[in-house]
């Protein structure tokens, strides 16, 4: 059987597994996979906002070194996006967005002084190895033959049309 190559957007090797936490009242001090203590890592995230906007957001994620897992909090990221877009392009607040990967720190710093082109940004982008949105189950007692129901994430309070 032939191996298929995963499509990659950034030019650099994929880095980090990424989980997005959509629950504003739940924070992670432990890794949801291995349950070891999670530290912090501040990295520039490249976010594409519809229709054609790329923004590099220097954001502090929770980080598990054992699992190479970054955990971002959706409501915090949306808060930063709302602040940026309400000043620059208020008509695009609430549009769909995609967290694409991490940008090299040196390229991100250079982009603060002089805006970089699309091609330069892609040359300094690490895609994520894996991306998923976390889902939590409800707490309580349930029959042993039934799985607990999954909690529905709340709708965004800031990043909306």
Q: Which domain holds residue 61?
A: 17-133
List pLDDT tens digits, range 15-38: 999 999 999 999 888 999 999 999
Q: Are 21 and 134 in contact (CB under 8 A)?
A: yes
| pLDDT surpassing 70 at residue 6 | no
| pLDDT surpassing 90 at residue 72 | yes
41 in any annotated domain: yes
If one counts the domains in the chain, the total is 1
The pTM (predicted TM-score) of the whole model is 0.88
List pLDDT tens digits, range 106-121: 999 988 888 888 889 9
CA 23/CA 135 separation, integer angstroms:
9
């Amino acid at each position: 059987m032939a191996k298929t190559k995963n499509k990659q957007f950034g030019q650099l090797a994929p880095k980090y597994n990424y989980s997005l936490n959509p629950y504003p009242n739940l924070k992670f001090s432990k890794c949801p996979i291995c349950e070891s203590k999670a530290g912090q890592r501040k990295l520039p995230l490249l976010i594409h906002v519809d229709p054609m906007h790329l923004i590099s957001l220097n954001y502090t994620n929770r980080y598990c070194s054992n699992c190479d897992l970054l955990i971002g909090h959706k409501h915090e990221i949306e808060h930063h996006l709302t602040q940026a877009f309400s000043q620059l392009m208020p008509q695009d607040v609430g549009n769909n967005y995609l967290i694409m990967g991490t940008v090299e720190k040196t390229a991100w710093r250079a982009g603060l002084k002089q805006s970089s082109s699309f091609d330069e940004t892609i040359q300094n982008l690490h895609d994520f190895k894996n991306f998923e949105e976390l889902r939590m189950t409800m707490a309580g007692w349930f029959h042993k033959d039934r799985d607990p129901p999954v909690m529905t994430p709340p709708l965004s309070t800031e990043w909306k049309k």
